[in-house]
Amino acid sequence: MTIENQIKWDLELIRRYDLSGPRYTSYPTAIQFDPDLSAEQLVGKGQETADASAPLSLYLHIPFCTHVCYYCACNKVITRNKKKAQPYLEQLYREMETLSEWYAGDRVVNQLHWGGGTPTFINDDQMRELTDRLRRHFRLRDDDQGDYSIEIDPREADAERMKVIRELGFNRVSLGVQDIDPKVQEAVNRLQPTSLSEEIIGAAREEGFRSVNIDLIYGLPHQSIDSFGRTVEKIIEMSPDRLSVFNYAHMPDRFRSQKHINEEDLPVPADKLIILENTINQLLAAGYVYIGMDHFAKPEDELAIAQRNGQLHRNFQGYTTHSDCDLVAMGVSAISQIGDVYYQNEHDLKLYQDRIDQDAQAIKRGVILNADDRIRRRVITQLICHFELDPAQIEREFNLDFDRYFAKEQELLRQFAEDGLLVREGRRIKVTPAGRLLIRRICMTFDAYIPQHEAGRTFSRII
């Protein structure tokens, strides 16, 4: 695919449609999760609707961080006390045993991800123990053919640590860089010399990791058009297989650590748009493929191949190639997707720990999908992953008349077509290069809960 066919930057469209909206890591989105649904209801329905012969995806949340990054909106616990890790791991093992009884069976784990927080907060022996417990309760692969990934803080890892992580079976690694400019790093309290990131990437290549992902954030304090351009140029030199380029959303009322960031130091909206446009152009010129929203990958990466083959999927870890997997998530605030059910654990660490001690599970809230949810989830997933939709496919899959079922949505789709966000080829809907950056807005057309969202909830801006 040529650069011109991937993205077209249309400033007028962006200004018109750059609203706040969901990221659609699930549909319905997490704000629809109901605290009145019991764990028994959610688990029971999940077991009833799951394919017990399909493979699994596992997610483990390690919430601890040694340092606070002021921009961060993740669920984390800031502490230098490494002794806090082991009691949490012991509770994780109790939850793991419960969840394996519910879902493991003989199902192969094709995808594994440790996130946080900072998974590298725990030491090598704790990593080995955690992996051993996982193998005891779930059928982990031993042929290196699964997607087993871990998030790395380059300030808390080195070449020797990467060797241990590879020996444990991980073959993908993701590291946060955000920005290489020292002034920006100081302003967000993440001092991280580029040499540390280069060491981790070099070690990952040396140890045979299959993929390296780097996270960047645009819109941070003291970033300028030129300075972030230099950051992207340096990252391209590092040659990661995948990149995530996130928009910093300044919401100090929701995230306490962001109160340390001076709003006056943030780039103005006009500069922020130029930063994003330039970043996209740099990455496309370097040969990366635009996967969607914040994500880029090399053409030979499995994400890009899956998108070309119509097999890309999206879940709470972002874009993935494993649409056939139920997602079993463990740890504080972790979100699972089992069959037609989503549910989330307690968000507060103490509440999570208390629930594990009492019940050996910590489910706080969730949602059971109805027939309409399943239809709309399929439509939204198809659009956000592949930028096109064949109504005939939806009709065959769900035995409905697409135009009649989505009669209310047709007017807005026609408006999108007039504005150049999409085109109709016969009945097929195709998102244009100008519409791809605004795919979240297009997906919102099919979100039955949007009026309730707008009544009092806010999401991050699309761009």
pLDDT 10s digits, 176-219: 999 999 999 999 999 999 999 999 999 999 999 999 999 999 99
455 band by pLDDT with thresholds 50, 70 and 90: very low
pLDDT at 458: 57
CA distance 26 to 342: 8
Q: How many CB atoms lie within 10 A of CB 407?
A: 10
What's this model's pTM, rounded to 2 decimal places?
Answer: 0.93
pLDDT digits 0-9 by tens, 339-373:
999 999 999 999 999 999 999 999 999 999 999 99
Check whether 453 has a pLDDT greater than 60.
no
Identity of residue 39: A
The residue behind tokens 């100008």 is: 434
CATH superfamily of 58-330: tm_1862 like domain (3.80.30.20)
Cross-strand partners of 173:
150, 212
pLDDT digits 0-9 by tens, 140-180:
999 999 999 999 999 999 999 999 999 999 999 999 999 99
CA distance 218 to 179: 8
C-alpha closest to that of 196 among 187, 209, 185, 188? 185
Share of the chain above pLDDT 70, in %: 97
**CATH of the domain spanning 1-28+370-463, picked from 3.40.50.1820, 1.10.10.920, 1.10.10.10, 1.10.287.110:** 1.10.10.920
pLDDT at 20: 81
Name the residue ranges covered by the structural domains of the chain. 1-28+370-463, 58-330
Cross-strand partners of 431:
422
C-alpha closest to that of 63 among 123, 124, 115? 115
Check whether 3 has a pLDDT greater than 60.
no
Check whether 456 has a pLDDT greater than 60.
no
Query: What mean pLDDT comes out for the span 35-46?
Result: 97
